[in-house]
Structure 1
Amino acid sequence: MHQPMAGVKMVEVAQFTFTPAAGGVLAEWGADVIKVEHAERGDAQRGMVNHPKDGTFHPIMDHPNRGKRSIGLDLENPAGYEVLLELLKDADIFLTNFLPDARRRLRLEVEDIRKANPDIIYVRGSAHGQRGPWAEKGGYDGSSFWCRMGSAWGVTPPDSPRVISMPGGAYGDSMGGMTIAGGIAAALYGRATTGETSVIDVSLMSVGAWAFALDLSNAALNGPEKEPISINQMMANAPLNPTVGHFRTSDGRWINFTMIQPFRYFADVCRHLGLDELIDDERFSTAAKLMANATEAARYITDAIAQQPFAYWTKHLQTLEGPWAPVQGPLDILDDPQMEANGYIRPVLDSEGKERRLVANPVQFDAQPPTIDRGPLFAEHTDDLLRELGHSEDEILDLKIAGAAT
């Protein structure tokens, strides 16, 4: 299998999911990613396992840290910091999401890292970017990506008694990690073609703004004289297209239609829903008439889908020409034949040899799904990495006794 990042070395001093997920993607693309963890506590996320313990495999750690090697270092200990500099000497990338105060205190700023390696690509993940009044503050995807950047507003109905939360854990973090990985790939290409290195910045706010960009741009275009509403609210309040929406089945599940060219697909929809009599109905005989009578047409579609259960429609609609989707939960997705056929979820062996499954990164090279390796145990590769740097067994023992390494 082609791994375009083979031969690339990344040193990561980062925690949680948003920025480490970029390292996981690069590792899946073939890079050697070395995760530097606190010598005693490790990545703070290791303490957040929130389900019954079943061996050493935990998606909250294995998802963002797949394929990496872990070394435990105390960067406040001069000997531990010296090991970090040794790791950096031949590295291509340094990746961190530490807050500015911690970066200054631990000497992880651009000028500190480039003393060890002037050509290294320096990458910062943050909540709010590197400038402005919030630059020193931390944040998570639930706050900086989801709530601050409009997604929560967009999915929360005006009459809702609560703000709708993100649909899944690390939702913005995973998208942000993929964004960082893409930026790193571009920087590597730029360095190879121009000889110039880069400083890369990606924030949860920037990823959130990009995800919400169409509504933001429309609001900027319309100005303050028009109160913005989300596209979802617009569809719910006054449907203009009967073949776009969510339709409830007889057993309380949902089928989604997203056919943005309604007249093109209307006859085929009618045939699949047993509404053949509507194909020649004068009310829906042209595109203009269909849109003018969209509410009435949507009512026919809603009533028809309500007559049968979810399982019936997921089978019966397989031949439907227009874009549609079952509204699925995690267990449905795991059993979705498209997931298996495309290698979107892959087997992985945990540290005890048990087969588990992880979602693959969304990029495939040469039509091949990736091979996925588990995330490292805490400081699992400390000795191996120190040996690779040329340290003797006595030197390794001295580093551990001094508390510089784990």
Structure 2
Amino acid sequence: MNVLSGYRVLDCSIAMSGPFAAQRLGDLGADVVKVEPVTGEWQRHTSAGGAQGNKVNVSFLSLNRNKRSLAINLKSPDGKAVLLDLVKTADVFLQNYRPGVAKRLGVDYESLSVINPKLIYVSISGYGESGPYVDRPGQDLILQGMSGAMLSAGRDGEPPTPSGQYLVDAVAAYTAFEGALAALLHRERTGEGQLVQVNMLDAITTLQMQELAVFMVGGKPQERSAEPHAHVYIRAPYGAFATSDGFIIVAFPSMKRFGEVIGEPAFLDMDDETDTWSRRDDIYAKTRARLVTKTSAEWLDLFRANDIWAGPVYGYADLVADPQIEHNQTLVEYDHPTEGRVKTPGFPIRFSKTPSEVYRGAPLAGEHTEAVLKEAGYSDERIAALAAEGAIGVGEAD
């Protein structure tokens, strides 16, 4: 028994933020029905990093486990009618259409809440449902640029520093996931469904709670330094430093202790709360000169022995082989019918009584259309007729 067993989610989203949020609900046991075009969702046909699967693209595979696929042609009246039938018994409806598209399709909250007043309707957009930017594309890197976060790291005068992850998409996904859970809790208490709106711009802005408070309340400008300091609002030394065989992270140590360990006399009399701000570049340069003299392992052993915060700089090969990752069972493995043995990040929350599990890999397009419609009361004859007219797509059986 999973924590969301018995709940049904209709996932009408594409790309990353919506599918990732829906996958989280599926990881907790919800029956997530991915509603996609008869030809399959866009992500099935677009690779990330050039990685192709056998029948399922790696990007799609990573964001759509624990779902069933229902292939529908929403431009067909009969296809749309099928979706509206399913809405009657759904708990959550999730979409990330551009603002206005859901209304044109007749699947906006106002329309669906008439059919099912208890429905939790989660809408994800780039900038909000209205306003001057409503028609702009909600793309991750564009939103990173708007967020201000790119200028919170790196050198003054050098290009902005993007995140190494699809950060805005991921934050929006988690925000939508939390919103769906909170709305379900409210419904359990009151019986009321509701509209839950999430936008990527607000998600990445509110993620920077501390940074923006330092700027707006504390009055501290966002000033990058000449050296590649890792964050404009954290004192030196703070960043990635080269060693004789790689890189390590050092995070704002006591300057006296740090100076003693690395053999830098200039640090011994520095004040941790004043000099580390006014002399950031000098501290970085001196630290860089010292750390390049030993290996990463040597420095990390010394720092751990002296209670100085430091750590390795990993690539993905290092990360997936890390013993803590293995201990935590962070990565999950399962067999997929077309992609073979699959290994991906799992669900990060541990429940003592209702653990998450991978019970289904990413579906093939329309793989579960027949099963979902039979559960909704459709006869074999009606399903065959809908498939023949192109209102639905019928793929491989369960």
Check whether TM > 0.5.
yes
**Alignment RMSD (CA, Å):** 3.2
Superposed counterparts of 1:131-142, under 5 Å? 131-142=130-141
| Paired residue total | 390
CA distance in 2, matches of 1:333, 1:108: 42
Q: 1:203 to 1:258 in 2, by over 3 A?
A: same
Residue in 1 that maps onto 2:68: 69
Unpaired stretches in structure 2, ≥5 consecutive residues: 394-398
What TM-score, normalized to structure 2? 0.86
Task: Work out whether residues 152 and 233 of structure 2, in 8 Å CA contact, stay in contact via their aligned partners in 1.
Answer: no
Q: 1:336 to 1:123 in 2, by over 3 A?
A: same
Q: 1:293 to 1:366 in 2, by over 3 A?
A: same
Secondary structure of 1:131's aligned partner: coil
Unpaired stretches in structure 1, ≥5 consecutive residues: none
What TM-score, normalized to structure 1? 0.85
Secondary structure of 1:19's aligned partner: helix
Task: Work out whether residues 156 and 164 of structure 1, in 8 Å CA contact, stay in contact via their aligned partners in 2.
Answer: yes
CA distance in 2, matches of 1:27, 1:52: 24
Residue in 1 that maps onto 2:45: 47
CA distance in 2, matches of 1:309, 1:205: 41
CA distance in 2, matches of 1:343, 1:233: 38
Bigger drift between 360-369 and 386-395 goes to 360-369
Q: 1:188 to 1:119 in 2, by over 3 A?
A: same
- The code of the aligned residue for 1:165 comes to P
Secondary structure of 2:210's aligned partner: helix
Deviations 1:39-87 (A, max 9, x none): 23x2111121243534245431122212111111011211111110121
Q: CA deviation at 1:401?
A: 0.9
Bigger drift between 180-189 and 362-371 goes to 362-371
Percent identity among equivalent residues? 25
- The code of the aligned residue for 2:331 comes to I
Q: 1:379 to 1:23 in 2, by over 3 A?
A: same
Structure 1 residue 307 and structure 2 residue 303: aligned? no
CA distance in 2, matches of 1:334, 1:235: 27
CA distance in 1, matches of 2:313, 2:97: 37
CA distance in 2, matches of 1:391, 1:246: 60
Residue in 2 that maps onto 1:330: 316
Q: CA deviation at 1:18?
A: 1.0
Residue in 2 that maps onto 1:175: 171
Residue in 1 that maps onto 2:254: 262
Superposed counterparts of 1:191-340, under 5 Å? 191-221=187-217, 227-229=221-223, 235=229, 241=235, 243-251=237-245, 253-259=246-252, 262=254, 267=257, 269=258, 273=261, 275=263, 283-284=268-269, 301-313=287-299, 317=303, 319=305, 321-340=307-326
Structure 1 residue 391 and structure 2 residue 378: aligned? yes
CA distance in 2, matches of 1:237, 1:149: 15
Q: 1:23 to 1:295 in 2, by over 3 A?
A: closer
Superposed counterparts of 1:21-60, under 5 Å? 21-40=20-39, 42-50=40-48, 51-60=50-59
CA distance in 2, matches of 1:305, 1:127: 43
- The code of the aligned residue for 2:175 comes to T
Bigger drift between 285-294 and 379-388 goes to 285-294
Q: 1:130 to 1:232 in 2, by over 3 A?
A: farther
